[in-house]
């Protein structure tokens, strides 16, 4: 089954044959995790770095923000017997419009928020493809843990 | 390079947004306009009236008594909502086709256009813009030029990609360089031929803010920002990616800071389900 992760959304699976896809990441971040032993993985598509912007919205839609979404993704795959030490962690998105600098650079801020959380929790990134001026569509194959990326104007490639 | 004659021929092949829309817009942003004026404009067009009443009676609005006339619709839903529905009903066809050169599947540009329009409305509310109906419409129609330019972009795609990836051009700059016109200029030509107001023509012409002298224009800035937000959210982003220029000073002129920007994104996402229903509806 192809499971679609919408904007501000998260999905996990340990069913062989499932694929988890998120479409068209602009400045948002798509975070894919996979445990090759438990054969369990998941994907998060968040839009903004910090939930302190609007606590009410964060409570209703925790996957909108890095700091409320990322811990939930990890906890959800742990429930499928995945272990942190075995986890393959891949990060995509965080793109920016040309010349988009400083505080208005939401793509960069989204990426920084993730790095801060990972540093604090000692999570290592296995693969990263962030920044630039392209949008990205990401697909995770639960049978193998393979990840496929399609960027604007190009063909899908396996990483 | 395309000749002017060739472009005008292409534009004439488009199904135009009906003239009643212009009349409606001219009245709706006039602070003295009454609901009766709006009803009078709409009710003389039977196709628009039928569409409007059907939409108003859908489950989306949850009205307890069915609407039977345009006058009922205007008084129940308010002027702005009626203007929006008429606009959406009448521009879907023109904006829904697949755009091969821009890498947009069927319906993707429509989704993008409606998102831009709704985000422009959100910004107008924040900045207290009086002409919010004009801004909504400009954001909705700003990329109409892509529907004509698409064929030419398809033919020149490899060269455009080279200029963007290797030479630091924005996508619009590459269009202009290789085809002789960019989609914003062409969009302005189209709405001018369709007899939209000079303000609308100007906003569409400059919605990527390529002219530095117009950075203080709040109307253009609003539509420009709505477009940038859509790109950041990955909505309607095709082969052109996010390869357009960002001008932070424009946001400062609108008194919008980075938190405001995040709030606009959060609000739009929060109401995404409502937006999806609206897309199905019109």
Taking contacts as CB-CB distances below 8 angstroms, the residues of chain A near B103 are 152-153
Taking contacts as CB-CB distances below 8 angstroms, the residues of chain A near B261 are 104, 106
Q: Nearest-CA residue of chain B relative to A62?
A: B270
pLDDT score at B160: 93
Taking contacts as CB-CB distances below 8 angstroms, the residues of chain A near B246 are 96-101, 104
In this prediction, residue B181 has a pLDDT band, given cuts at 50, 70 and 90, of very high
pLDDT reading at B146 higher than 90:
yes
pLDDT reading at B45 higher than 90:
no
pLDDT score at B57: 87
Q: Nearest-CA residue of chain A relative to B158?
A: A153
Fold of B4-281: Hypothetical protein af1432 (1.10.3210)
Cβ density class A111-127: b for 16+ within 10 Å, e for less: bebbeebbeeeebeeee
- Nearest-angstrom CA–CA distance, B217 and B222: 9
* Nearest CB to A7; choose among B233, B239, B262: B233
Report helix, strand or coil for A2. strand
* Nearest CB to B266; choose among A24, A54, A134: A54
- Nearest-angstrom CA–CA distance, B210 and B179: 17
Question: By mean pLDDT, which of B18-27, B119-128, B222-231 is the weakest?
Answer: B18-27
Counting one residue from A and one from B, how many pairs have CB atoms under 8 Å apart? 110
pLDDT score at B139: 95
pLDDT score at A74: 98
CA distances from B282 to B22, B145, B211 (A): 19, 22, 35
Element (H, E) at A93: strand A88-93
- For residue B218 the two structure tokens come to 């709040």
Kindly provide the ipTM of the predicted complex, given to two decimals: 0.91
Note whether B247 contacts A: Cβ–Cβ < 8 A.
yes
pLDDT score at B215: 86
Summarised one tens digit per residue, pLDDT across range A107-157 is: 999 999 999 999 999 999 999 999 999 999 999 999 999 999 999 878 899
- Nearest-angstrom CA–CA distance, B124 and B218: 10
Q: Nearest-CA residue of chain B relative to A49?
A: B262
A28: annotated active-site residue: yes
Summarised one tens digit per residue, pLDDT across range A40-64 is: 999 999 999 999 999 999 999 999 9
In this prediction, residue B241 has a pLDDT band, given cuts at 50, 70 and 90, of confident
Instruction: Parse chain A into domains and list their residue ranges.
Output: 2-158
Would the pTM of this model clear 0.95, i.e. be above it? no
- Long-range contact set of residues B272-278: C-beta below 8 Å, sequence gap at least 24: B272/A6, B272/A7, B272/A8, B275/B114, B275/B115, B275/B118, B277/B60, B278/B60, B278/B88, B278/B114
The CA-CA-CA angle for residues B249, B254, B259, to 5°, reads 85
Q: How many H-runs (helices) and E-runs (strands) does chain A carry?
A: 3, 10
Looking at residues A75-103, what average pLDDT do you find? Answer: 93
Summarised one tens digit per residue, pLDDT across range B15-34 is: 888 777 888 888 888 888 88
Q: Spot the catalytic one: A5, A12, A25, A28.
A: A28
CATH number of the domain located at residue range(s) A2-158 in this protein: 3.30.1330.200
DSSP labels, A32-78: EEEETTTTEEEEEEE-BS-GGG-HHHHHH-GGGBHHHHHHHHHHHHH
Looking at residues B46-60, what average pLDDT do you find? Answer: 85
* Nearest CB to B245; choose among A53, A98, A106: A98
pLDDT score at A92: 98
What integer best gives the mean pLDDT of chain A?
Answer: 95
Residue among B238, B222, B202, B208 at smallest CA distance from B112: B238
Could you tell me the strand order of the sheet in which A136-141 lies? A2-5, A19-25, A136-141, A147-151, A157-158
pLDDT score at B132: 87
CA distances from B21 to B47, B68, B212 (A): 13, 21, 31
Q: Please, which residues bridge with residue A21 across strands?
A: A4, A139
Looking at residues A70-89, what average pLDDT do you find? Answer: 97
pLDDT score at A5: 97
What integer best gives the mean pLDDT of chain B?
Answer: 88
Residue among B95, B106, B83 at smallest CA distance from B30: B83
pLDDT score at B68: 87
């Amino acid at each position: 089954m192809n499971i679609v992760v919408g904007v501000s959304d998260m999905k996990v699976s340990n069913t062989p044959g499932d694929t988890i896809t998120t479409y068209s990441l602009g400045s948002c971040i798509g975070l894919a995790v996979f445990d090759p032993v438990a054969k369990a993985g998941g994907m998060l598509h968040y839009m903004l770095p910090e939930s302190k912007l609007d606590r009410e919205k964060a409570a209703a839609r925790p996957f909108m923000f890095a700091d409320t979404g990322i811990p939930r993704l990890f906890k959800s795959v742990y429930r499928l017997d995945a272990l942190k030490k075995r986890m393959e962690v891949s990060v995509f998105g965080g793109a920016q419009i040309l010349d988009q600098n400083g505080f208005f650079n939401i793509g960069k801020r989204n990426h920084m928020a993730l790095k801060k959380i990972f540093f604090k929790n000692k999570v290592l990134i296995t693969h990263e493809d962030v920044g630039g001026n392209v949008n990205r569509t990401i697909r995770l194959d639960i049978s193998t843990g393979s990840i496929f990326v399609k960027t604007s104007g190009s063909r899908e490639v396996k990483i | 390079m395309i000749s002017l004659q060739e472009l005008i021929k292409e534009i004439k092949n488009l199904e135009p947004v009906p003239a009643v829309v212009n009349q409606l817009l001219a009245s709706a942003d006039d602070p003295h306009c009454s609901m009766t004026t709006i009803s009078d404009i709409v009710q003389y067009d039977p196709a628009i009236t039928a569409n409007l009443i059907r939409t108003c009676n859908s489950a989306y609005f949850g009205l307890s008594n069915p609407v039977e006339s345009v006058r009922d619709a205007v008084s129940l839903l308010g002027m702005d909502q009626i203007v929006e529905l008429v606009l959406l009903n009448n521009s879907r066809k023109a904006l829904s086709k697949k755009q091969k050169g821009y890498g947009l599947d069927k319906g993707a540009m429509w989704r993008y256009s409606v998102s831009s329009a709704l985000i422009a409305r959100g910004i107008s509310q924040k900045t207290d813009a009086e002409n919010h109906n004009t801004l909504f419409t400009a954001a909705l129609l700003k990329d109409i030029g892509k529907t004509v330019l698409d064929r030419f972009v398809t033919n020149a795609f490899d060269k455009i990609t080279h200029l963007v990836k290797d030479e630091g051009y924005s996508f619009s700059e590459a269009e202009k360089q290789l085809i002789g016109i960019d989609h914003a200029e062409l969009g302005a030509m189209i709405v001018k031929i369709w007899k939209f107001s000079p303000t609308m023509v100007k906003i569409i012409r400059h919605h990527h803010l390529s002219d530095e002298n117009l950075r203080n224009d709040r109307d253009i800035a609003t539509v420009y920002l709505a477009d940038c937000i859509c790109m950041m959210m990955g909505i309607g982003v095709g082969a052109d990616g996010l390869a357009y220029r960002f001008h932070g000073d424009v946001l400062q002129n609108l008194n919008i800071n980075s938190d405001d920007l995040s709030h606009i994104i959060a609000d739009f996402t929060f109401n995404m389900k409502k937006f999806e229903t609206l897309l199905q509806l019109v």
